Amino acid sequence: MLDIGFWTWAITIGLVLVLLAVDLALGWLRPHQVGFPEATAWSVFYVLVAIGFGVWFAAEHGGQYGTEYFAGYIVEKSLSVDNLFVFVIIMTTFAVPAEHQHKVLTFGIVLALVMRAVFIALGATLLALFSFMFLLFGLLLIFTAVQLFRHRDEDPDVENNFLVKSVRRVLPITDEYVGGKLVTRIDGRRVFTPLFVVLIAIGGIDLLFALDSIPAVFGVTEEPYIVFVANAFALLGLRALFFLVKGLLDRLVYLSAGLAIILAFIGVKLILHWAHVDIDQSVPEIPTPVSLGVILVVLVIVTVASLIKTKHDPSAKAHAGSLRAHHPTDQS
């Protein structure tokens, strides 16, 4: 069992909050269109921070925990790329001006961190109290993987999202973005801007991704501290990564299929762990180094195959994938 003291937790959370504050200051106080050099610099910075932390963590707590951290980080990073797809869809659907996309992304990252912190605490408590939660988490991941694979050529229907439709139905919404404000007044009446609706959509998406990503990372480590830092470092680089790769996302045509395979694999790993603990210790478990290797191989194959596909078929376009099919009755 990993023994993490109070000060290690405090310093780690403090580091995450400092990095988050920098993101918040850049996106909220100085709205601007992020160029390729700036996005590249910040992306490299966050990756180096994550790697540097992993090296320190492995040296301090051992190679096994270090491997679990890197496996968890890669899982969360790969899922965050799919998250970027949905962010792009939301930005496009609501025609968010380039100078406000920075702000929306920062909000999305903050909200994702808060939601995942809550789910990490809840998940760790449930796993500690009830070992059958490994079985439930495994079944949830396999179900998600099957649905994602079935609808891998679709995108989430943002406009018909329940939260978005409810907000539009209940609140007065303006047609224009008013200088990046969430609320404004027109003829003395308080109204909400489309930016408010965008943040609601981002929040709903963050919730769905938290429900998937937390069981996934608990599949490679049972340590709440590792789950937290893997999520935190993966999400903190999301803002810069969005501006760096948003023009390349359309080329990752097999990403959703690859993520489905990874989620299914981790789901099987969780079920085997449950069976090993609760049924028969002769049931084999999948070691973390094997999990890390499988995840890396799948991601490499998916990336290479996607680039080959789009090179030979420029009309091929990637999709974020959906957990349910879209029907004509969904339209309003």
Task: Please say whether the beta carbons of 85 and 320 come within 8 A.
Answer: yes
90-136 pLDDT tens trace:
877 788 887 777 777 777 778 888 888 888 888 888 887 888 888 98
Structure tokens at 194: 């489309």
How many angstroms separate the most distant Cα atoms in the chain? 73
Q: What is the dihedral of CA 239, 203, 255, 304, to 10 degrees?
A: 0
β-strands 189-192, 183-186: how paired? Answer: antiparallel
Indicate the average pLDDT of the chain. Answer: 82
Residues 23, 69: Cα–Cα separation, whole Å: 23
Residues 282, 287: Cα–Cα separation, whole Å: 14
Residues 14, 238: Cα–Cα separation, whole Å: 19
- C-alpha distances in Å from residue 185, one per residue of 10, 12, 90, 167, 193: 42, 42, 25, 18, 10
Helix (H) or strand (E) holding 313: none
pLDDT in the model for residue 52: 94
- C-alpha distances in Å from residue 208, one per residue of 111, 117, 230: 12, 14, 18
pLDDT in the model for residue 204: 79
Residues 152, 247: Cα–Cα separation, whole Å: 20
Q: Which amino acid is at 222?
A: E
Structure tokens at 250: 């359309």
Report CA 182 to chain centroid distance, whole Å.
Answer: 24
Does the model's pTM come out above 0.85?
no
pLDDT in the model for residue 67: 93
Task: Please say whether the beta carbons of 213 and 238 come within 8 A.
Answer: no
Reduced to 3 states, what is the DSSP secondary structure of residue 192?
strand
Average pLDDT over residues 250-276: 88
